[in-house]
Structure 1
Amino acid sequence: MSKNELRNNVIAKRNTLSTQEIEQKSQAIIKKLFTLPEYQNANTIMAYIDFRNEVQTSGIIKDALTNGKKIAVPVTDIKNKKLTPSLLHDFPGDLAPGAWGILEPRPECVRPVDPEQIDLVLIPGVAFDNVGNRLGYGGGFYDRFLLRTRKDVILLALAFELQIQPNVYHEKHDIPIQLLVTEERIMDFR
């Protein structure tokens, strides 16, 4: 199977999940995330906005805002293949559909954050293996962004168990994650 076939295969499997299954599994994942000291101790978090049956992140964003954490979400610059983290003050009020229809801060709500200020990055992905490698959507946006973060930043992915695969075709430029939280387990690759 090629990298693209794996990507399409896992996305197709994820798309078979019902809205109720996604909500239930996402709640279980978020509950586990909230127990982690890496989440509890993070002052500034970058989170993705879930899209197309990804693990839902709205509960995390609301929790962070309620508990005085700074929460940033990516603004995508497709032309330059670049992500810029932007602080959220009002969720979902600050957001509108952006690149690929994914919600991101409206132009007047963009509040750039220095990537070096981020303590924890919640990274989306299509598939993950048992050693922390990640298969993204193919644009390399996160791999490029992560090069701009601190060496001690925590890289954490949220995924459904069906996204764990034996091989995700890891390449030299792919940056692995340190923690993976699914509805069934927490995997620590450090």
Structure 2
Amino acid sequence: MPADLSLEKRALRAELRERRRNMTSTERASATEGLTARLISLTEATGASSVSCYLSTNDEPDTRPFLKWADQRDIRILLPIARTDGLLDWATATDEDDEEVGLFGMPEPAGELLAPTAINDVDLILVPAACVDHHGVRLGWGRGYFDKTLGSMENCPPVYAVVFDTEVLDEVPRERHDQPVDGAVTPTRTLDFRPAR
């Protein structure tokens, strides 16, 4: 990767991380309410009976109310578990809410491990992101787990990044290995980038 692109990505991630940490509890509560409603609408609109999502950290848009809604409706949810080789294992979300701290301090489900190929059976993929642009370019947090996963799928279902409203940018730096997303879900809107791609 060119050094200037690497520095640009690193600086952008740092700025976005700082912005997230400066959000008030009121802003977060409002964002969670809006985001949950939009994730539910997207799931219903796609008719998804199986969804790949993730357990959000304190700084990320909160996915837990959506996960609870999905569990109550018997929608199968796969949650990622990071491996040291750069791949993701998966576990099925349960109503027991058992969590462990995984690699890099990320929350992970404590359930039975499923292989990396388990994601091939889902109808909708929701991925974390630092930001996205209107061309579907997603900037992750720099470890490449989701880029590897999405890049290895033969029949990938719709993929949506989950971000705050201010994290949909005009342009995001992109490298060859960066996998595009089909859309983004924010607290106030659901964006579809497919026509632009």
| TM-score normalised over the length of structure 2 | 0.87
Quickly say closer, same or farther: Cα 1:24–1:150, change in 2 above 3 A.
Answer: farther
Matching residue within 61, 67, 71 for 1:61: 67
User: Percent of aligned pairs with the same residue?
Assistant: 26
- How far apart, in 2, do the equivalents of 1:151 and 1:87 lie? 21
User: What is the CA–CA distance in structure 2 between the aligned matches of 1:31 and 1:91, rounded to whole Å?
Assistant: 23
In the alignment, does 2:86 pair up with 1:86? no
Task: Structure 2 unaligned segments of length 5 or more: list them.
Answer: 1-6
* Matched letter for residue 95 of structure 2: D
Q: What pairs up with 1:48-127 in 2 under 5 angstroms?
A: 48-77=54-83, 79-93=84-98, 95-106=99-110, 109-112=111-114, 114-127=118-131
Question: What displacement does 1:147 show?
Answer: 2.6
In the TM superposition, residue 177 of structure 1 has moved relative to its aligned partner by 0.9
Q: CA 1:37/1:70 → structure 2, altered by over 3 Å: closer, same or farther?
A: closer
Distance in 1 (CA, whole Å) between partners of 2:154 and 2:65 is: 26
Partner of residue 156, structure 1: 160
TM-score w.r.t. length of structure 1: 0.90
Q: Cα deviations across residues 155-186 of structure 1 (Å, max 9, x unaligned)?
A: 01111112122222011211111121112222
Larger deviation, residues 121-130 vs 37-46: 37-46
Alignment length, in residue pairs? 186
Q: Which amino acid aligns with 1:102?
A: M
Please give the per-residue CA displacement for 1:23-48, whole angstroms capped at 9, x wherever unaligned: 21121022122222566511111111
